[in-house]
Amino acid sequence: MGQLCRESRKGARALVESGMEQVRILESLGFYDTVLSFKASSVPLTVEAYRLASELCDYPLHTGVTEAGLPRTGVIRSAVGIGSLLLDGIGDTIRVSLTTRPEKEVAAGIEILRSLGLRDSGYTLISCPTCGRTRIALEELAQKVADYMDRERPLRPVIVAVMGCVVNGPGEAREADLGIAGGDGKCALFARGELLRTVAEEKVFDEFVKELRNIAY
């Protein structure tokens, strides 16, 4: 771990010094309308470079992990790198670089901002890991809720929850504006930890949508 940190710092210094050399050339020509980027495919190197750059200059920084790869791993690498910097207050614009369609890159970037509380639009979905108390097809229902909200974008920020059981669900997701908690053939609809009503499992999605449209559209 120590060796990795030392190598990252060494590479970061070289990356930043190379960039600052170009900045000095531009400044010598009277040009100051510049945005700097120090992206690398290594997450530790990228983070270290941007931290160093933020100490050396006041230019806007365009952040991201370049060539992050396929979505499954690339989104994680981008979230770790970009998220670490944004939590430190470093970065003015972001780019998620994935081997996929551009709209998926944009969606990942927006979700990173939402997760850090830097973008209020859209929705946040809370869902629990399955356990022995799970009484519904949790993953399928959570995906159905997410697909609906991706199609029908909420007009105001909303937190929704899909939880596997009524034992812990409403309490653990009490910050949710609206939630579902599974049961044996029945599900609970709840809001801010309080029970709204109990409905049959096969009707819970439709009832959830009705409630959602009252608060988010």
List, as one string, the DSSP characters of 149-172: HHHS--SS-EEEEEES-TTTHHHH
- The pTM score is 0.79
- Please state whether 30 falls in left (phi above 0), alpha (psi between -120 and 50) or beta: left
Tens digit of each residue's pLDDT (9 = 90 or more) over 32-42: 999 999 999 99
The number of residues making up the chain comes to 217
Tens digits of per-residue pLDDT, 89-141? 999 999 999 999 999 999 999 999 988 989 876 789 999 988 888 888 999 99
Q: What's the Rg (C-alpha) of the chain?
A: 22
Domains of the chain: 2-115 (3.20.20.20), 123-216 (3.30.413.10)
Token pair, residue 24, equals 């000095």
Most confident of 6-10, 85-89, 118-122: 85-89
- Give yes or no for a contact between 115 and 94, defined as CB atoms under 8 angstroms apart: no
End-to-end CA distance of the chain: 49
